Structure 1
Amino acid sequence: MERPLIAVLNGPNLNMLGLRQPEVYGVATLDDVEQVCVQAAEQLDVAIDFRQTNGEGELVSWIQECRGRARGIIINPAAYSHTSIAVLDALLAVDLPVIEVHISNIHRREAFRHTSYVSRAAIGVICGLGVRGYALALHAMTDMILDEDDQ
């Protein structure tokens, strides 16, 4: 039986993890985040498609590609959380469960970061728990997929 696929999509500047504002985001790199996700996926017996882009249009295209291909989306839209109706619309259009992840606690930061358009499409949001938030999101998404399969 084929393992369920979960897309793990990352937005702009996450390729700079470990270099950009380590006092906010920590010292883990995006490669470290991917390894956290790979290890969690192996334990959970799910497949992941881990990607990062700095481009809004590319992120929208990747979300659209998930329809009919993935069972769920874990997304760290980064700054697009606060600015992109296009990302929100794409997430709503694919009709998949979405978990939004942020490494930092966006609610303890600048006021403009307190609003996330993406949250309107998400069934859950994990923020402020560092890179371990990705593993938590994978656990939650896997549980939802298993619950759905049991129905």
Structure 2
Amino acid sequence: MSSYEIKTVPAFGYELFRDHLLPAILGKHQDDVLYWAGKDLARKFPCTDNQLIISFFEDAGWGKLTLEKEEKDGYIFHLTNDDDLLNISNRTFRLEAGFIAEQLQIFKGYLTECYDEKKEKQCLVEFHVKWDLKERVNEK
């Protein structure tokens, strides 16, 4: 993915930051700020295809991302984690949604949005990605 060395982060440390500190700092603006932060991260760590996005998720410790469905104007991704680190009920996944949206907007070239849907019974998060084939964007 990059020249960065991959290190293991203790689950407890990640959970403290992600599930307790960020919500306390961001408050009611958490979802919006995290979505735009995800888009910013995507610009700093560009992926040129779906497989690189999937690899980034694994390298970042965000979980296992799989492409479940392809449509002419969108995708559905599933996010799971074998170690049960997703903490689906207490976590927002807007950071990941923003990251996916921006990556696809950059390499597809169309205005793209992504929303997340928690599926707690299946222990997964479903990302619905849609791009507007009428709305070209120039990222350069």
> What's the TM-score bracket when you normalise by the shorter of the two chains?
under 0.3
TM-score for both structures, normalised by structure 1: 0.26
Task: Name the structure where strand makes up a greater proportion of residues.
Answer: 2
Task: Name the structure where helix makes up a greater proportion of residues.
Answer: 1
